[in-house]
Amino acid sequence: MEILKWEKLSSKYLVKERWATLRVDTCKLQNGSTKDDYYVLEYPNWVNAVALTEDNKLIMVRQYRHAADIVSLEIPGGVIDGDELPEYAIRRELLEETGYSFKSAELIATLHPNPATSDNVTYTYLLKGGTKTHEQHLDEHEILIVEEYTIAEVKQLLANHKIDQALHCAALFYGLMKLEEY
């Protein structure tokens, strides 16, 4: 049997904000049934980075995440602004969050954070040759600490479940696999 896309019969916005939009759809499924009240979160697209310094240290950031109520060790990243190209967005985010500039950037994964409930995409980049060129330029509500780890240390952090953000774990796995190719 072939899986077909649902037919959207109607759509209504419940919340429209800068960082998240909630809509409710009514859809017709391929078996003829109708699914009422299917909630979809619309988010901007995101970028994240497996970022290596010139001396092959991975750049990580530590910050508080209110929704989960945790201090989280993560890779750098953020929201793509408007029609900004993903590679430009990740270079901007890295400069703002860490103060590092990079010699190269390679797209290594395009992931849907949660395709059951949200419509956005995360672009994951492997950046190499990072050097500290600027001071951090954080947004008003960003408070984060930049940390550097060896590749072996990051592998151990993953093995010990010390990185809580699922998209960042996936990005690190893609990045570590890519690094093993070189």
**Whole-structure pTM value:** 0.93
User: Do residues 176 and 152 make contact, with C-beta atoms less than 8 angstroms apart?
Assistant: no
* pLDDT over 90 (residue 181): no
> Do 17 and 61 fall within a single domain?
no
The enclosing domain of 149 has a CATH number of 3.90.79.10
Is residue 1 included in any domain, yes or no?
Answer: no
> Do 34 and 71 fall within a single domain?
no
Q: Residue 7, Cβ neighbours under 10 Å: how many?
A: 11
> Do 11 and 99 fall within a single domain?
no
User: Do residues 90 and 59 make contact, with C-beta atoms less than 8 angstroms apart?
Assistant: no
| pLDDT tens for each residue of 57-103 | 999 999 999 999 999 999 999 999 999 999 999 999 999 999 999 99
> Do 163 and 94 fall within a single domain?
yes
> Do 38 and 109 fall within a single domain?
no
Give the domain range for residue 30. Answer: 7-42
CA dist 52 and 91 (Å) reads 13
What would the two tokens of residue 110 be? Answer: 């395009």
| pLDDT tens for each residue of 125-166 | 999 999 999 999 998 889 999 999 999 999 999 999 999 999
Is residue 2 included in any domain, yes or no?
Answer: no
Domains held by the chain: number: 2
DSSP class per residue in 56-72: SPEEEEEEEETTTTEEE
